[in-house]
Structure 1
Amino acid sequence: MSKKMITILGPTASGKTPVAAHLAAMIGGEIISADSRQVYRRMDLGTGKDLEDYGGVPYHLIDICEPGTKYNLFQYQQDFFDAYQDIESRGAVPILCGGTGLYIEAVLKGYQLSPVPQNQALRDSLEGKSLDELTAMLEELKAKTGSNMHNKTDVDSCQRAIRAIEIETAVLEYRGCEGTGVHGCENTNLVPPIPRTTVPPIDSLIIGIDIDRELRREKISRRLKARLDEGMVDEVRHLLDEGIAPEDLIYYGLEYKFLTEYVTGQIAYDEMFTRLEIAIHQFAKRQMTWFRGMERRGFTIHWIDATLPMEEKVKTIVKLYNSEIVK
């Protein structure tokens, strides 16, 4: 019988990881993380790894990169397929779990993006621009390319916005070259960063963890306070002490952006907490916007109430899974 993949998605603080772990333990599954920041080692509290939630369940694509590097969608797709094939080869059930909608959608659609090299001339021209200015430029580019990549969830710092502009610009330039009929426009660095169908889409049952907005906000605030108590500020201090540049930590957004600004003396503790709390609430809202967008783009997401007992949630997923694989 086919070991069809199961995808469990949801906004931050929805409790998707414990659900995935309990499910994996019941059906002989292994978890592939779909989180753009949990790939980094020693960035534990700020990314909410909660590794204790996994118990003895094997997991993949967590702690695979050094802090200060810039992991991207192209790399994720390659690493995902390696993990996916490895899990399938051992007869286990792959369970994709996370909240980075772009990563999830790219994998499920079977897109393979070509790597886009840095465009130093473009980067130099963008130096000094504000995040608002960069965001406006990005939106203008996306209107031209028709792209649904790089929403506000992914570009919450100037560095991220510049990288997104770099990619969208490459898409636009490549399409312009295609129209001329000139192979590569004599630009050997220009590669097609557009979806190609060389990798098949992944057939997956998609489960969404549906959490009430007010409960989500309460859990986010409670979890933020707990992680600060557990030493999240010290985690950022240690990363800076390793020699990681503040701007490289700020690049990762959310906790690392505001905590770095606090640790380096740019903002006070109370301001850090307030702005970070608001930013996480906004982030969770944008995650849900992305997931609803996935439904409009043809994905079927089976939403399960986050407040149900764990046993009931897992049984519901198993029932859906069994009905899917016998079709």
Structure 2
Amino acid sequence: MLKNIGQTLLVITGPTATGKTALSVELARRINGEIISADSMLIYKYMDIGTAKPTLEERQGVPHYMIDIIEPDQEYSVALYQQEVEKIIPAILARGRVPMLVGGTGLYIRSVVAGFHCSQIGKDEAFRQEMQQLARENGNIYLHEMLARVDPPTANRLHPNDQKRVIRALEVYHLSGKPFSWHNQPQNNRATPYRILQWGLTLDRELLYQRINRRVDEMLQKGLVQEVRWLLEQGYSPTLTSMQGLGYKEIAAYLNGQISLPLAVETLKRNTRRFAKRQLTWFRRDPAIKWLDVNSEPETLVLQITRDLAGLSPGM
């Protein structure tokens, strides 16, 4: 077990389907760690299969935070995430344990690691309503193209149908005069009080795509269609931000009679592959991330990380 590594925050990230959950749980068990989810879909209650939410059995008794914290129809933001995590990290450290930020939502991770102040950029309801009206008249792609003109990095990261976040990025530019991606640069924000160590999981793209396809098939076997049907029956609209997530949007379209199930499944696999590609593009821009090939045995990866940490810990 590691001792005396000080005010250190570990980050385990990478694209979907690279095995972040299993690796992080095993690492946490070895180093007395506690896991903070950095996944924008795991915050929602009742959405388990489509989000690949780790079960209690998979968590193996390791404390997890920022999972199942809001209803699917509740609003949430990066600023709220940042505020909550900045309370959780010192509490973990005060218990003499190691905080581990684990997930694939780059903006959540960046909000903590780079420390940019999301909440300091206010809101403009009139502007939001104007953007929503433009989307109704011209489609989501119109807003996405507007964003691409003023903030290409953020537009590249966001799907055109992620209307809420596209509008927020446009709103940030409208209010501050600077693109959202500018506010996301470490040099433009406060220094974090923690020593940050980051590892990213990756593998050959074709192998990654095969994993994604298998994961989608497994989700269907576990009851993804039934889960989405239940959410719709509870009155959760398919237009909600939560229901626009991968798996939920495609299956909702099938259940609403818009497409066939085979087409919904193929669309989900395609959209997930594209999402993984965007994730890789986002994380590859960060030179602080040390990349690990998940073709290696999980034990090898855990040992590699613990060896990296041993240099910080005279008690190892």
**TM-score (norm. length: structure 1):** 0.84
Residue of structure 1 in register with 2:295 after alignment: 307
CA distance in 1, matches of 2:32, 2:175: 42
| Secondary structure at 1:246 match in 2 | coil
**Mean Cα deviation higher: 153-162 or 218-227:** 153-162
Match for residue 272 of structure 1 among 234, 258, 264: 264
Residue of structure 2 in register with 1:39 after alignment: 43
Contact 1:67 1:244 in 2 (8 A): yes
After TM superposition, give the deviation of residue 33 of structure 1 in Å: 0.5
Residue of structure 2 in register with 1:211 after alignment: 203
Contact 1:157 1:250 in 2 (8 A): no
After TM superposition, give the deviation of residue 141 of structure 1 in Å: 2.6
Give me the identity figure in percent.
36
Given the alignment of the two structures, is residue 29 of structure 1 paired with residue 21 of structure 2, yes or no? no
After TM superposition, give the deviation of residue 116 of structure 1 in Å: 3.5
Given the alignment of the two structures, is residue 107 of structure 1 paired with residue 116 of structure 2, yes or no? no
Distance change (3 Å), C-alpha of 1:324 and 1:291: farther
Residue of structure 2 in register with 1:166 after alignment: 171
Distance change (3 Å), C-alpha of 1:3 and 1:163: closer
After TM superposition, give the deviation of residue 159 of structure 1 in Å: 4.0
CA distance in 2, matches of 1:91, 1:266: 53
| Secondary structure at 1:5 match in 2 | strand
Contact 1:108 1:201 in 2 (8 A): no
Given the alignment of the two structures, is residue 316 of structure 1 paired with residue 308 of structure 2, yes or no? no
CA distance in 1, matches of 2:63, 2:25: 9
Contact 1:153 1:283 in 2 (8 A): no
Residue of structure 2 in register with 1:283 after alignment: 275
Contact 2:143 2:166 in 1 (8 A): yes
CA distance in 1, matches of 2:136, 2:70: 27
Which structure 1 segments of 5+ residues have no match?
176-192
| Secondary structure at 2:138 match in 1 | coil
- Letter aligned with residue 313 of structure 1: L
Contact 1:11 1:288 in 2 (8 A): yes
CA distance in 1, matches of 2:144, 2:276: 19
Residue of structure 2 in register with 1:178 after alignment: none
Match for residue 147 of structure 2 among 138, 155, 158: 138
**Mean Cα deviation higher: 106-115 or 12-21:** 106-115
CA distance in 1, matches of 2:76, 2:64: 18
Match for residue 231 of structure 1 among 204, 223, 238: 223
After TM superposition, give the deviation of residue 241 of structure 1 in Å: 1.2
Residue of structure 2 in register with 1:70 after alignment: 75
Residue of structure 2 in register with 1:120 after alignment: 129
Residue of structure 2 in register with 1:8 after alignment: 12
After TM superposition, give the deviation of residue 239 of structure 1 in Å: 1.0
- Letter aligned with residue 69 of structure 2: I
CA distance in 1, matches of 2:296, 2:60: 21
| Secondary structure at 1:247 match in 2 | coil
| Secondary structure at 1:169 match in 2 | helix
CA distance in 2, matches of 1:150, 1:71: 20
**TM-score (norm. length: structure 2):** 0.87
| Secondary structure at 2:239 match in 1 | helix
| Secondary structure at 2:137 match in 1 | coil
Contact 1:130 1:158 in 2 (8 A): no
Indicate the RMSD between aligned Cα atoms, in angstroms: 2.2
**Mean Cα deviation higher: 251-260 or 116-125:** 116-125
- Letter aligned with residue 305 of structure 1: D
Distance change (3 Å), C-alpha of 1:142 and 1:153: closer
CA distance in 2, matches of 1:21, 1:311: 12
CA distance in 2, matches of 1:153, 1:70: 18
User: Following TM superposition, where does structure 1 have runs of at least 4 consecutive aligned residues deviating by more than 4 angstroms?
Assistant: 193-199
- Letter aligned with residue 64 of structure 1: I
Aligned length: 299
| Secondary structure at 1:111 match in 2 | coil
1:81-96 equivalent positions in 2, closer than 5 A: 81-96=86-101
Which structure 2 segments of 5+ residues have no match?
none
